[in-house]
Amino acid sequence: MKQIAIIIPAFNEAERIATVLRAAKGASHISEIIVVNDGSSDNTSEAAKKISGVKVIDLVKNVGKGGAMAAGVASTSAQIVAFIDADLGGLKAEHIDSITQPLLNDECDMCFGVFRGGKIRSNAAMAVTPWLSGQRAMKRELFEAIPYIGEVRFGVEAAITDTARKRKARVKRVILRGVSNCYKEEKYGLVKGIQARTKMYREIREAMVRSRKKNRSQRAKFLKNGDTAAKIRELREKVKKHTAHRRNDDLDKRDQPRDR
Strands (E), the chain: 4-10, 32-38, 54-59, 80-83, 88-89, 110-116, 136-139, 171-177, 180-181
Q: Picking from 100-104, 163-167, 214-218, 234-238, which range would have the lowest pLDDT averaged per residue?
A: 214-218
Q: Pick the residue with more confidence: 11 or 133?
A: 11
How far is 55 from 49, CA to CA, in rounded Å?
Answer: 8
pTM score of the predicted model: 0.70
| Three-class secondary structure of residue 242 per DSSP | helix
Torsion sign across C-alpha atoms 85, 91, 95, 96:
positive
Question: In terms of C-beta density within 10 A (0-12 exposed, 13-18 middle, 19 or more buried), how is residue 188 classed?
Answer: middle
Query: Model confidence at 128, in pLDDT bands (50, 70, 90)?
Result: low
| Average pLDDT for the chain | 80
Torsion sign across C-alpha atoms 160, 177, 16, 191:
positive
Query: Model confidence at 260, in pLDDT bands (50, 70, 90)?
Result: very low
- 148-164 pLDDT, tens digit per residue, is 776 776 678 888 888 99
First to last CA, the chain: 78
Give counts: helices (H), strands (E), the chain.
Answer: 10, 9
Q: What is the CATH number of domain 4-182?
A: 3.90.550.10
Q: Are 47 and 14 in contact (CB under 8 A)?
A: yes
Position 183 scores a pLDDT of 58
24-57 burial: b if 16+ Cβ within 10 Å, else e: bbebeebebbbbbbbbbeebbbebbeebeebbbb
Q: For residue 50, how far is the Cα from the chain centroid?
A: 29
Position 212 scores a pLDDT of 56
Across 98-116, average pLDDT: 95
How far is 177 from 164, CA to CA, in rounded Å?
Answer: 25
- Rounded to a whole number of angstroms, the CA Rg of the chain reads 25
Position 116 scores a pLDDT of 87
Query: Model confidence at 51, in pLDDT bands (50, 70, 90)?
Result: very high
Q: Are 88 and 180 in contact (CB under 8 A)?
A: yes
Give me the phi and psi of 7, to 5 degrees please. -115, 125
Q: Picking from 24-28, 83-87, 199-203, which range would have the lowest pLDDT averaged per residue?
A: 199-203
Position 54 scores a pLDDT of 97
pLDDT over 50 at 222, yes or no: no
Q: Are 153 and 64 in contact (CB under 8 A)?
A: yes
How far is 176 from 146, CA to CA, in rounded Å?
Answer: 25
Q: Are 21 and 50 in contact (CB under 8 A)?
A: no
